[in-house]
Structure 1
Amino acid sequence: MSSVTHHIPDAMLAAYAAGNLPHAFAVAVASHISLCSKCRVALEAHQAVGGAVLDESYSVAVSSNLKGDIFAQLDASFSPEPVYERRGIYPGPVLEVMKGREPRWKKLGMGVRQDILSADANGSVRLLYIPAGQAVPDHSHNGLELTLVLQGSFSDETGRFGVGDLEIADEEVEHTPVADFGEACICLAATDARLRFSAFIPRLLQPMFRI
């Protein structure tokens, strides 16, 4: 998409190419790459460099048991490749996590809904539906949050994000995302830690909503 203006930082793209991102972040990155030709070209450059390094590396003989352990670790850390087919607004990597089903929206309040696609000790991937003009409660972060816009747009203290844009918020970012007027904003959000809400009610409901 030529209209994408918020891209993946080069260091994160390199980590993705090396298979070193947690699954939740890898899904968000793969989804962005499937929508962004600029980051797709950058990923191919990283992969080419990685391939050249491997070609120049010396091989070392290992036992069959050690080889099995190495391949098991590689499988555990493998990042999903970008899938370029889409269904409606959902990129291929999102469809893979959804396993072909439709979103199962659960209400969070004020018209905001979510569908938790995957969650474990290392992070979560969820879809967020935010009605036009509605705000997500003010919050900061205990870790990293990647938010990819799939429909509509939202704005916060850091700027405006439209379809294909990826916002990366860390512990230093406190923001109040607001869906812009027009169609509802649907995002893919990936986190590796719970959010830190400023207001009491969101903090009270946080364990129930697993945010």
Structure 2
Amino acid sequence: MTMKTKHHIPSEVLSAYSTGSLPEAFSIIVACHISLCDQCRAEVEAFDTIGGVLIDNEEMANIDLNSFEKTMKLIDKQDNSHLVPSLKSNDIYPTPLKNYFGGSVENIKWKSVGGGIKQAMLLNNKEASARLLSIPPGAQLPDHSHKGLEMTMVLQGSFSDEIDSFYRGDVELGDDHLTHTPKAGMDEHCICIAATEAPLVFNSWLPKLLQPFIRI
């Protein structure tokens, strides 16, 4: 069953992506999301079109609110009839993501992190890291919070947490105010791409003990 995207990326993140000020790890997820979501892709294209109106800040948190509101009003008036057709595909891995593993799933280097859960690092630098996660049906990640921004997008299957349920194309944003225990849906493996600014903050001793080795 095809699920319509319910959880979108906030406008301030899309604008940071448009101006090139978003860290690469998070930009990967935005690129993947807008390849599946017409609504957010239209908003990014509108930002691109009227980019001169935006204040070019290096950090999205410092975007001037008055300028942002003016920009959103211009977007509402913008004619988006020029937008290219939808880029939706039945392929699990969107095209922007394939560049990070050479275009072939055989190149994905999965490593076990315990409990049947696997991860494959895509990018790790001083700004943020990005990884693929594969979670067996019904399995859950340990209870954790965050030191900075976390962005997770579902590529296959689904997961649920204390906030809501998330399906293919949906994106969840977490920060130091969010503590959750994501659990994969029962139908199939949940495959996600996740980007984080800092290591997760686990609330139980075993994940804390293993964290230096599993690098999550």
Q: Taking structure 1 as the reference length, what is the TM-score of the superposition? A: 0.82
Instruction: Name the structure 1 match of 2:12.
Output: 11
% identity of equivalent residues: 48
1:80-159 equivalences under 5 Å are 84=87, 88-102=91-105, 103-159=108-164
Cα pair 1:117 1:126 within 8 Å, conserved: yes
Instruction: Name the structure 2 match of 1:204.
Output: 209
Max Rg structure: 1
Deviates more, 1:1-10 or 1:23-32: 1-10
TM-aligned CA deviation for residue 99 of structure 1: 2.2
Inter-partner Cα distance in structure 1 for 2:104 and 2:214: 21
Query: Where does the alignment leave 5 or more consecutive residues of structure 1 unmatched?
Result: 55-83
1:64-75 equivalences under 5 Å are none
Matched letter for residue 93 of structure 1 = P
Inter-partner Cα distance in structure 1 for 2:165 and 2:43: 23
For residue 31 of structure 2, give the secondary structure of its aligned residue in structure 1.
helix
After superposition, the CA RMSD in angstroms is 2.0
Q: When you count strand as a share of all residues, which structure comes out higher?
A: 1
- 1:129-149 CA distance string (max 9 Å, x none): 000100000000011110000
TM-aligned CA deviation for residue 15 of structure 1: 0.7
Q: Taking structure 2 as the reference length, what is the TM-score of the superposition? A: 0.80
Inter-partner Cα distance in structure 1 for 2:98 and 2:31: 12
Matched letter for residue 18 of structure 2 = A
Cα pair 1:113 1:128 within 8 Å, conserved: yes
Q: Which runs of 4+ in 1 moved over 6 A?
A: none
Cα pair 1:2 1:37 within 8 Å, conserved: no
Instruction: Tell me the number of residue pairs that the alignment of Structure 1 and Structure 2 aligns.
Output: 183
